[in-house]
Structure 1
């Protein structure tokens, strides 16, 4: 959860003092000036911290570690002007800088491709450049703490926040995350790894208790954080969920013993916004900084009282302050105050485009449909609800206001040139936050017409309907009982509403949909009135999906009564005749017991399931355009966002599946471009189209990057960082106990077999495997060699080498992936796990010898009895290929018995004294 940020005018006094410490001037009650020997930049960060700490009062220390809930712009923790301590001015991420202050560059920054797209590049150098751009823009938009990267493993293929992180594999996340952190912190900015730990779903994310064993935590979920720590990470953010029964920010084992102890983290741990639920408990458990809470903080005066009572020691308080100050000194926050310098929109946009191009994954290319040739085309139909705007991005706190944007339509038009007629049809209604709600797609706006009240008005009933406008008349109340006059009245194209957190101003809203005022974000009620007219005669299923009661009246009679005690769907069949109008009234109230939690907002959708061959007007118009065009490019979209709902299915929302099938039926040259941050189900239409591109949320240059891929200016080289299953049932996490959990407990019973490991173990064939991605050229793998070199070390170093040749006709890049098989271990290990990778670019006909050193953790297992990694001796299968399922070469390596067997690869400082 986030609070509205605030701007603080920051005064930083930089006084350079000689190395010999001068006496302090004692401050008066009015805050007289003090000498500041800690501003001597020639001293070490540790020395400067010690000097400053001695000059701080008890009250100042408590204030320093407590967030300011009164800020208006930006997530700040106040500085202390008397001592020259700058405020911690935090910027949300991780896909760009979310500038909240309207006085800073019109709140604009570069909208980068989502981190899941970065992960699809499999490129550590790109990750470093990505991080550097974020750090640079954070600094130049007045921020000195960046809330990224996201290092949450994509455990669920439908996870609403998968787009913010770096995929399902811990090694891929670790390599890219470490490079990202180093890039950010090459600037005077502190990077923040989030969300620590096991924050892998949005459904019940504030309350869920994750049950996971130690080995699973160590081998999968901790690894990206450990790599970030080794990269010099300055801060980590603890999450809302519980871990084995203990709140993440209260979790002494996870914060003190594991992160600070085993992993040697010397930075500071902050809470997610509102995630701290205690005072002394969280402080003693290892939380160092409480970010502003909602609606109040648990620290501040409460922490001061706890220290005075001895519930929290002064030594622990000093440790909190020291950890923060030392990172501030070490990362340059004192010596290089953040500024408001105009960012280079053109140069940064060019990098955003390059990363987007490298991230797009060619999933299907039957009969070499791609690349397109503008010389051979006369017309292109561009279709899709958001294909004409550049705002396709994830929502929530990662939403960035771009410096400019290039829509897919604009990018294709500019690349195709004036000789190709490029026309546009939306094909479906705009995608909104309402589409996160599970259930059937919303009734299209083309079937609906709003009620027009009688001239004098009537308390019940309406006289006429507006045939010239689509949608239903919506009336909104800021109470749950429709009491008084409605506070907002307008025409909603669809009844497809998801308010609360999703309706704050930093969320991704379609520019085609009028926003609902934020005063309706909590308790509210609404009524929609108008008529519905079916496009064809047949049997239809109408539905209400809602949390809170939703009632559908047809022709004045109650047709559906959805109780909505939880988020659920009620549907009912009816025969409708073509063009026959039926009056519609929908009433909704936030009267579910769940609305006692103020994080929730109104959620309702008026849905339908029409007969298979029925097309509404939006689809019909798109079909007619496609029929007349040489090529049809359908740009689909999902809405993924931080919040409190995971859709829990993989279907494209808002009738887009039906759109694809209808267009493909009239144009055999139909290309589907998917803009999503998660896996998408394609089983119903995959074989109807020749080409599919997974474009992710591609940032502000999405249109240019897509056009370059479509026309072959750039050879696609992206590889999937997550497995795409056939559907939501064919996954390793398909039970209710695993997701969303039973009685508030989420059981990670799949253990270490997350993502492709689970598919391999259970023999589930995915639609597209982890690591998969096609190219416009071909590559040959040959001459595999393996070598284990102990060289007197406690554990072996394993190298794999092979020849890679570009056997096609164009230049291209290939990601060579090396997997280990089952280990000769006393515990069960994955049948396949990523152990190393390299991205190699080759010209046509060229060959390169590729050498990859394997990650030792892929050759080891976590031993829970000794709290350490153990590399077992014996023979290990080696698989080399273009994806986890496309293995080109197989070999083996023999790991010799390590010296001091059982001691290998032990984590630093196995346990830390508390």
Structure 2
């Protein structure tokens, strides 16, 4: 289509209206030029859509760290195609993913949503993700451009970083996905070298759009555009959400007064129209939306999402240690220990959250394969679980008139940006949760309120808690996803029904509408010591003990960084006690990023499942019993202790966060041996690395499966200590395979006022991980 001709039909106010969201998740339609509304949705593990509710379930894939742990670009591309299928089903044109920020420090609270500490691996996995989604006619927006590798003060922090470091480390994954054809990109909240990224013309206009030739659209992170003229000149194309914000009439005035050229507005509109054409939201004006041919945008065959999620999870599971206890023999009795054994943590908190139709817990998955005895041992969760449903949410105006009545699956109430039909945010004054609860056990029950603002909780009409909860953070993610909790103890009798009502008084100030609070419940339970003793007893009575140890939403989530790498609660103590009772103890680590493992030398095996997605338990059974091989390799180095990590600073000082370590990020910077190196991972067979040959920038490696089972190996190639290529190979017992890895030119380049190829001879090594590279060859440039 002739975009310039379409733009010429629009007046200035209409063009500017297109640059800001029509609401929380979409850009406005312009039917006069055949433009439909463009709908965006959070990812990266699923497509939530416009509602933060479970009414329209979403496939929940494993976390991005798990995707990266597969080291398999073809598998990740298939995951992308599944996400595109989900997006089309939900009417979504743009997926707000993937996250390309790096694991600069293990304390990053949102690292489960990123891929790796390594820029090359991040770029390759990110490019496969982008290609897979966009093959299905859905746009991606790799994020957060750039240096958004922490959560503390993320709205205001200024990252001070040398250009060499930016180019060789933090910009490199973005450069790769732009080369892969990304249709969108999201700017970060933070500043880089004194300029916030929504206004950073040097990086957005200069590097991204100019030097790299990016022809897609640049969307702000939500609420990140805070100025009119500076942001309009800084390269951000779309300010989300809307329709409020600093553009609109103020930007129109800036254009009319000559402070912002209209050509800058036209360029933004052109990019939005190009996006619309790519995703099927732009048609000839005389066409109706229904006349579009979906087959042009959809994959040729439907993907079985449940099967693919299960496959990816198993391929991502990373076997860190194994004395031979795994795979388990058929008929073994299993002691399953840990709160996460019954309620696995399958995803991280924040914008990555979706609502799957079902979740297979480890208990459910293993019970289908073996005799399982379960004991909780200890529960590290700080907050009470939501009250079991059914629960009803009433939306009330100032007079008490019901504007809407919404059924809820449990006591969690969340709406952001879009309220239920019939609810006017200006009229809304109160949201009330109603539930009838009949306890099974008599005794003291704990009720909790999680949220911010004024609340009243009643039981059978009598107030038991009347409180105003204040936040200590301005971060929208913290307000929405991790507000404080208040508890009250209430005696209840088994068999009696109690009418519970939680009333939340809403702020009717207009603008962005957020309803986010939870009514929690916990019944009487045994004390911690009794639970621990029961777990030890059960473990000693079974053939093998499987302890599922997990982080909690208070440890890994969007909105805050981690304070340490310890497993929360008394889980370390529980693992030590269980291992003492049963030498065949397998620890399943259910975490999105590194944790310390003081019990490592005391257990028989350690299996890392990351946040494994909705098929967690089924995939765990597949791997523990050997139906599937744990195919994962670490995308990030795991320290023995936090103090050993080369970078531990994620807290700005006086508003600035200095990346003083320069390019020494991740495994090249380690001075002490970690618990497990970048690239580490065991399978159920063994491999020999036999030969290497280099010709030009292609490296050929021969390996042999020396074990007695079929297996999969990730052949890793490093240049001067940095990952430069990899490939996944498979072989039968005794079979040798040969793979050729083509090394990118960038592997031999450094930044010095431009990219410079380092001439001479370069040592190329191949092997199993960053510290186990038995083969070497020489490449001459």
Confirm or deny a common fold (TM above 0.5).
Answer: yes
Q: Does the CA contact (< 8 Å) of 1:482 and 1:525 recur in 2?
A: no
Contact 2:457 2:465 in 1 (8 A): no
Cα deviation digits, residues 186-221 of structure 1 (max 9, x gap): 122111111111110111111111111101111111
1:839 aligns to 2:728 (yes or no): yes
Matches within 5 A, 1:139-150: 139-150=88-99
3-state SS of 1:215 partner: helix
Range with greater deviation from structure 2 (769-778 or 260-269) = 260-269
Q: 691, 695, 704: which one pairs with 1:787?
A: 695
Q: Report whether the alignment pairs 1:714 with 2:623.
A: no
Matched, 1:766 2:674: yes
User: Which of 256, 260, 272 is equivalent to 1:312?
Assistant: 260
SS of the residue aligned with 1:625?
A: helix
Over 3 Å counting, the alpha-carbon distance change for 1:119 and 1:490 in structure 2 is farther
Counterpart position of 1:624: 537
Which residue in 2 is equivalent to 1:703? 617
Deviation at residue 743 of structure 1 after TM alignment = 1.5
What CA distance in whole angstroms lies between the structure 1 residues aligned with 2:551 and 2:472? 15
**Structure 1 match to 2:642:** 728
CA distance in 2, matches of 1:172, 1:479: 43
Match in the other structure for 2:393: none
Q: Does the Cα contact within 8 Å between 1:114 and 1:696 map onto a contact in 2?
A: yes
Equivalent of 2:19, from 62, 65, 85?
65
- The match for 1:854 is 743
Alignment of 1:460-609 (within 5 A): 469=443, 489=464, 521=483, 526=486
Q: 1:819 aligns with which of 718, 727, 730?
A: 718
Counterpart CA distance in 2 for 1:687 and 1:161 is 29
- C-alpha distance in structure 1 between counterparts of 2:101 and 2:630, whole Å: 26
What is residue 329 of structure 1 aligned with on the other side? 277
- Please state how far the C-alpha of 1:271 moved relative to its aligned partner: 0.4
Q: Which residue of 2 aligns with 1:365?
A: 322
Give the distance between the partners of 1:354 and 1:186, measured in 2 at CA.
21
Q: Which residue of structure 1 lines up, in the alignment, with residue 50 of structure 2?
A: 100
Secondary structure of residue in 1 paired with 2:185:
strand
Deviation larger for 614-623 or 171-180:
614-623
Matches within 5 A, 1:609-648: 616-639=529-552, 641-648=556-563
Q: Does 1:228 align with 2:139?
A: no
Residue 755 in 1 paired to residue 709 in 2?
no
Per-residue deviation, residues 666-714 of structure 1 (Å, max 9, x unmatched): 11111111111101111x2111111000100111111111111100111
Do the aligned residues in 1 keep the contact of 2:79 with 2:129 (CA within 8 Å)? yes
1:629-666 CA-to-partner distances (Å, cap 9, x unmatched) read 11111111113554331113111112211111111111
Structure 1 match to 2:25: 75
Deviation of the 1:48 alpha carbon: 3.0
Distance in 1 (CA, whole Å) between partners of 2:473 and 2:465 is 16
After superposition, the Cα gap between the structure-2 partners of 1:54 and 1:473, relative to the gap in structure 1 and judged at 3 Å, is closer
Answering whether residue 143 of structure 2 is matched by residue 194 of structure 1, we say yes
Residue 247 (structure 2) aligned to one of 299, 310, 313: 299
Larger Rg, first or second structure (1 or 2): 1
**Compared CA separation, residues 338 and 94, structure 1 to 2 (3 A):** farther
**2: distance between equivalents of 1:320 and 1:356?**
40
How many angstroms apart in 2 are the aligned matches of 1:234 and 1:169? 24
Describe the shift of the 1:659–1:302 C-alpha distance in structure 2 as closer, same or farther (beyond 3 A): same
Partner residue of 1:117? 66
Alignment partner of 1:624: what SS? Answer: helix
> Residue 743 and residue 654 in structure 1: after superposition, are their counterparts in 2 closer, same or farther (change >3 A)?
same
Q: Which residue of 1 aligns with 2:569?
A: 654
Aligned 8 A contact 2:328 2:624 in 1: yes
Pair 344,93 (structure 1): closer, same or farther in 2 beyond 3 Å: farther
User: What's 1:400 paired with?
Assistant: 354
Q: How large is the RMSD of aligned CA atoms in angstroms? A: 3.5
> 1:474 and 1:817, CA in 2 relative to 1: closer, same or farther beyond 3 A?
closer
Measured in 2, the distance between the counterparts of 1:251 and 1:433 equals 40
Alpha-carbon separation, structure 2, partners of 1:236 and 1:346: 26
How far does residue 893 in structure 1 lie from its aligned partner after superposition? 2.2
Instruction: Please give the per-residue CA displacement for 1:153-204, whole angstroms capped at 9, x wherever unaligned.
Output: 1111132211112111111111111111111111221111111111101111
Question: 643, 651, 654: which one pairs with 1:740?
Answer: 651
Which secondary structure state, in structure 2, belongs to the residue aligned with residue 858 of structure 1? helix
Query: SS in structure 2 opposite 1:143?
Result: coil
Deviations 1:798-853 (A, max 9, x none): 121121110100011100101112xxxxxxxxxx1001111101111111122111
State the 1:783 CA deviation: 2.0
Q: Deviations over 1:365-423 (max 9, x none)?
A: 01x11000123x2x21111212223553111111111132211111111122xxxx212
In structure 2, how many angstroms separate the alpha carbons of the residues matched to 1:848 and 1:729? 40
Secondary structure in 2 aligned to 1:287?
Answer: coil
Distance in 2 (CA, whole Å) between partners of 1:645 and 1:721 is 22
What CA distance in whole angstroms lies between the structure 2 residues aligned with 1:357 and 1:497?
A: 40
| Compared CA separation, residues 344 and 672, structure 1 to 2 (3 A) | farther
Query: Alpha-carbon deviation of 1:97?
Result: 0.6
Q: Deviations over 1:100-124 (max 9, x none)?
A: 3489x93211100111101000001
Q: Deviations over 1:13-47 (max 9, x none)?
A: xxxxxxxxxxxxxxxxxxxxxxxxxxxxxxxxxx4
Deviations 1:74-131 (A, max 9, x none): 511211233321112101001111133489x932111001111010000010111011
SS in 2 for 1:704: helix
Give the secondary structure class of the aligned counterpart of 1:322.
Answer: helix
Residue in 1 aligned with 2:330? 374
Q: Tell me: CA distance 1:741–1:471, structure 2 relative to 1, closer, same or farther (3 Å).
A: farther
Contact 1:476 1:489 in 2 (8 A): no
Indicate which of 659, 683, 687 corresponds to 1:775.
Answer: 683
1:86 and 2:36 matched: yes
More displaced stretch, 300-309 vs 720-729: 300-309
Shift of 1:890: 2.3
Query: How many pairs are equivalent?
Result: 683
Structure 1 distance, partners of 2:475, 2:383, is: 10
**TM-superposed deviation, 1:280:** 1.1
Contact 1:345 1:403 (8 Å CA) reproduced: no
Matches within 5 A, 1:15-26: none
CA distance in structure 1 between the aligned counterparts of 2:360 and 2:532, rounded to whole angstroms: 25
Asked if residue 386 in structure 1 is aligned to residue 340 in structure 2, the reply is yes
CA contact (8 A) 1:433 1:639 kept: no
Q: Is the counterpart of residue 164 in structure 1 residue 113 in structure 2?
A: yes
1:622 deviation in Å? Answer: 1.5
Seen in structure 2, the aligned counterparts of structure 1 residues 171 and 707 have a Cα distance that, compared at 3 Å, is same
1:315-349 deviations in Å (ceiling 9; x for gaps): 110001001111221343325488999x9998111
Contact 1:152–1:194 (Cα < 8 Å) also in 2: yes
User: Does 2:215 match 1:266?
Assistant: yes
Alignment-derived partner of residue 881 in structure 1:
767
Is residue 890 of structure 1 aligned with residue 779 of structure 2?
no
Q: Say yes or no: does 1:808 pair with 2:707.
A: yes
Q: Higher relative CO (CA 8 A, sep ≥ 6), structure 1 or 2? A: 2
Q: Which runs of 5+ in 1 are unaligned?
A: 1-46, 436-466, 510-520, 532-597, 603-613, 789-797, 822-831, 896-914
